[in-house]
Amino acid sequence: MTFRNLARYLERLEKTSSRIEITKILAELFAKSNESEIDKVVYLILGNLAPIYSGVVFNLAEKMLVRALAGAYSIEVALVVEMYKKEGDLGEVAFRLANERKRKGNSYELSVREVHEKLLEIASDEGEGSQERKIEKMSKLISFLDPLSCRFVVRIPLGKLRLGFSDKTVIDALSWMETGSKEKRGKIETAYNLYPDVGLLAREVKKFGIDESVKRIKPEVGVPILPMLAQRLKSPKEMIEKMKKVFVEPKFDGLRIQIHYKRSGFSDGTKVKAFTRNLNETSWMFPELKGVERYINCQEAIFDSEGIGVDEERKSLANFQTTMTRRRKHDIEKIASKVSIKFCVFDLMYKDGESLVNLPYEERRKILSEVIKKNSLLEVVDYEVTQDPEVISRLMRERLKQGMEGIIVKKYDSKYVAGRTGWRWVKMKEEEGAKAKLADTVDCIVMGYSLGRGKRVSFGVGQFLVGILDGEIVKTVTKVGTGLTDEQFHELKKRLTGLEAKEKPKSYLVDKLLEPDFWVEPSLVVEIAADEITVSPTHSSGFALRFPRLVRFREDKSPKEATTITELKRLYKLQKN
């Protein structure tokens, strides 16, 4: 397939708002893609070059792309900057320049594979002089593309394709391609949960069909499994009614880390890889994991854990913000010496070539206790097994006194299933009958912001609009403008800079009365606390958060991990119990 043909599909997708029509267009595109290119097609339409866990990033800032456009069309940088200020979209600037200044004789027939290959080469260029080389290579690529292709090729490195769908719709479309419906979506999603590379999945489906493909896909050390998540309940009695026999474990205020271990070593020479819950590899954050093989009694394994910072001065567990200082790539050894870390390990999903995800939790726990030798770095989480609600209440009180966030209650015989499905894991962060009405915080996507008045004008942000997920649609739930410190306002503005969108993103559903001064791309996730959830006729979610307060920025979570409308409805019901 030529990239020009792909660009025509991208234009159709850009103009389509109906979710089912988007699915049909994607199914048509996949049907016309061959086995050798469909994975590249999938990555590109999602604005990527490879799966997230691979760590492939463009590192092409707007200023670099402005220079690339100037070089491609032999014009002054100032002219491109002027056009960008007017258009607010570098993709549109590229489209206009290509129409106005395209020289005759250029080849417009680069294939999807060729464009993907060139973009991957640009992204992979590192070291001294790499910025100039990236600009030069990007400029050359742009100069050989037709106007429509230029629009999308420029938007991809900026993360601004704005097509309004994600991996979930791609999975729907793969089912639609084969069956004309979403009937096999569940099968594909099960495979995706174990191996979240939607490009590879598309290639397998294209080659072998859905039924055979899902049989072939197994967990692999070095490829993160989508994490299992906890539901919310306040009543220990209800927990036992729903789950019967349970494990009760402490809930830590840490960073969810999936540890992949391979005694023979990965291709880069390391023996351990660490992934956050949003699938980003963060092995560099944890130099302590070097030499971890002396604590592990197997050849290969995938562990689920919580990384907890330790305050060396107080000899106590650190809070989430302190733990997150590890995300600074510079001077990580120095930071590690100030904030040491331990990994509280609570699950084992894979061992020595065998997937354990379908084993009951109590069996996985037993194997885990045999695999990890007693040590202070990898600490197997304590638990109690019970069928008594009173025991759950007692353990909750004990953990709160110890400074924990609360407890996690896990069904004794549950399989490891990605996401929040069924009553397998439940978290409890306050005692039953506590005065607070809202049982948990809400993870929201920042949708836009307004300038405000008075002192806040100097911050650049006066209040911000946030939403939750309903499928792939982001629906509003509250505006936040109080309860922030000056430092938080400045930090918010810093994080939103560069995320601004000229128009409302296609995935947003917002009442006109709530529209902010500036829209932002769905990228930043914030944790919001509130007094209660109320029914709202104005917010598109149908609910509002009363007296919302910013708790923290959740840089460990991607937008697709934000609270869903189903979860919010559960929280709404819980506060009435």
Residue 155 CA from chain centroid, whole number: 20
d(CA 432, CA 436): 10
The length of the chain is: 577
**Residues 6 or more apart whose Cβ sits within 8 Å of residue 305:** 256, 257, 258, 259, 343, 344, 345, 346, 347, 378
| CA nearest neighbour of 228 among 258, 198, 251 | 258
3-state secondary structure of 492: helix
Q: Which two tokens stand for residue 411?
A: 């069904």
CA atoms within 13 A on the CB side of 187: 18
Is the distance from CB of 327 to CB of 247 less than 8 angstroms? no
Beta-carbon count within 10 A of 345 CB: 20
| CA nearest neighbour of 222 among 385, 51, 475 | 51
CA atoms within 13 A on the CB side of 418: 18
| Helix, strand and coil percent figures for the chain, each rounded to 5 | 40, 20, 35
| CA nearest neighbour of 345 among 373, 321, 317 | 373
- Answer yes or no: 251 catalytic: yes
Q: Which of 160, 251, 262, 557 is catalytic?
A: 251
CA angle 530, 463, 63 (to 5 degrees): 125
Is the distance from CB of 269 to CB of 286 less than 8 angstroms? no
Beta-carbon count within 10 A of 523 CB: 14
Please state the φ and ψ torsions of residue 355, each to the nearest 5 degrees: -75, 135
d(CA 245, CA 423): 12
Residues serving a catalytic function are 251
